[in-house]
Amino acid sequence: MSPKIPWCLLAILLLAGVPFAEAQEGKKIPWIGYLAGAGSGPAPAFIQGLGDLGYVEGKNIGAVYRTTEGRQERSADLAAEVVRLQVDVIVVDGSNIALAVKKATSSIPIVLPTSTDPVGTGLVASVARPGGNVTGLTTLTEELGGKQLELLKEIVAGLNRVAILRPRGSANDMFVKATEPTARALGVKIIPLVFRGPEDFEDAFRSATKERANGLIDRSGPTVSAADRKRVVELTVKNRLPAISSFTGWADNGGLLTYGPDRNVMYRRAATYVDKILKGTKPADLPVEAPNKFELIVNLKAAKQIGVTIPPNVLTRADRVIK
């Protein structure tokens, strides 16, 4: 059996033109191009999903990983680079990067582990019939923003000005637009906080203070590293700003509330899409999948630091409470 080779080394071997398994066993293995906005490798849950399907690194699968390091302006160049490598499937973690990849290729299948309104952004023709070369999963943004706003309203007395922290990009513009009807119904003004990179976070929170925001929705997304997202959490606590995010790690890293789909499940599901495509199914024939379960995580320690009290009816609905 082939020894287990780290994904980063496999990427180096690919770029050198010496795929490990081909050199060792004399046969071609499929290659995955994985593009993300942050991180040091493919999502662990995605790798686990491939493993559950029988794929072993260096034996019957290889991958090349690229990250924009939070710089969306790098998306087009990295997309073109991965397309030139002629991988079999491209997995793209983030809607805005996916738009650059779709522009770079109409033939290589593209799988989205998570996406924000893939129909509205033009990534797919429809959820049921994606068409073209893109498919995957969506976070159902149309419902998510409104539900997050409602949760903040239940917790924060007098909530009337909510900032939405987000990177530049059409997908996040649509998130704000989808949240506006709920905001109007609740009497809440939305304050957009757009950042280019982590160096903008401090200024963004100063703007939130200047605009008298008394709540925040985090939409930093996969373009932000875990360390930078933790910095955002720290800024919400420092500014005593009740905040909610769809990322599970938000509450675990000290954030007040997490509400959204279990992304680890979505990454594992993305592996099944890759498997089907590698076995011959066309992306156009794979409907975009939406999560059927959303989880609510409450961090009581963060609530105490910020100075808010979580109502009992919210606690009883929580899937997990961090004390």
pLDDT tens figures, 180-213: 999 999 999 999 999 988 899 999 999 999 999 9
Domain 7-139+263-285, CATH number (from 3.90.1170.40, 3.60.20.10, 3.40.50.2300, 2.40.30.10): 3.40.50.2300
Q: Mean pLDDT over residues 11-18, rounded?
A: 41
Provide the whole-model pTM.
0.79
Mean residue pLDDT of the chain comes to 88
Q: Where in the chain is the domain with CATH 3.40.50.2300?
A: 7-139+263-285, 141-260+294-322
* Structure confidence by residue, pLDDT tens digits, 257-302: 999 998 889 999 999 999 999 999 999 999 999 988 889 999 999 9
Specify the CATH superfamily of domain 141-260+294-322.
Answer: Response regulator (3.40.50.2300)
Question: Mean of the pLDDT values across residues 227-249?
Answer: 93
pLDDT level of residue 84 (50, 70, 90 thresholds): very high
Q: Are 105 and 83 in contact (CB under 8 A)?
A: yes
Strands 257-261 and 294-299: antiparallel
Q: Give the pLDDT score at 28.
A: 84
Would you say residue 5 has pLDDT above 70?
no
| Single-letter code of the amino acid located at 140 | L
Residue in 121, 120, 78 with CA at minimum distance from that of residue 96? 121
Mean pLDDT of 73-96: 92
Give CA angle at 88 (85, 93), nearest 5°: 85
What string of H, E and C letters represents the secondary structure of 180-203? HHHHHHHCCEEEEEEECCHHHHHH
pLDDT at 293: 81
